[in-house]
């Protein structure tokens, strides 16, 4: 008598601490899609604390912007050319990075949208940078 034994291992996929999200909105005939990981606040102070104002200093001494989310790179896609703060940005996908400040933020659209977070961010790959004013709001 011959017998065979098979052992199978499977990993149960549990919810991520910062779950992925995808939001699509139409503005006129243009489709705008943002893919990001939603960081959990969990009662923490975020701006100027967990997400520092200015560039974040890495252990190797390099400085990087915030990836506008958690985990993988935040990606924004436009189906048509758009104007952001009055400046032209062509249709396509971009890595979305930000440099937060107490009074204004620098929003960066990078041609490199496939990297993991901002760790390999290179300002030479920027398609557009715009400065926007910040204002307090109630967190729901």
69-91 pLDDT per residue, tens: 888 889 999 999 999 999 999 99
Please list, in sequence order, all residues whose beta carbon lies within 8 angstroms of the beta carbon of residue 36, skipping any fewer than 6 positions away.
20, 21, 68, 69, 70, 74, 75, 96
C-alpha to C-alpha distance for 89 and 85, rounded to whole angstroms: 10
Average confidence score pLDDT of the chain: 87
Question: 10 Å Cβ neighbour count for 25?
Answer: 9
What's residue 10's pLDDT? Answer: 66
Give pLDDT < 70 ranges for the chain.
1-10, 139-140
C-alpha to C-alpha distance for 110 and 131, rounded to whole angstroms: 15
- Furthest-apart CA atoms within the chain: distance in Å: 79
What's residue 4's pLDDT? Answer: 59
């Amino acid at each position: 008598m011959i017998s065979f034994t098979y052992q199978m291992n499977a990993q149960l996929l549990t919810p991520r601490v910062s779950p992925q999200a995808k939001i699509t909105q139409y503005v006129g005939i243009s489709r705008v899609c943002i893919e990001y990981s939603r960081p959990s606040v969990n009662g923490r102070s975020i701006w100027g604390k967990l997400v520092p104002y200015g560039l974040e200093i890495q252990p190797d001494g390099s400085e990087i912007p915030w990836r506008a989310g958690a985990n993988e790179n935040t990606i924004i896609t436009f189906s048509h050319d758009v104007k952001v703060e009055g400046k032209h940005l062509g249709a396509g996908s971009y890595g979305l990075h930000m440099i937060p400040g107490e009074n204004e933020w620098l929003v960066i659209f990078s041609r490199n949208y496939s990297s993991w977070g901002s760790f390999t961010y290179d300002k030479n790959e920027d398609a557009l940078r715009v400065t926007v004013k910040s204002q307090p709001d109630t967190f729901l």
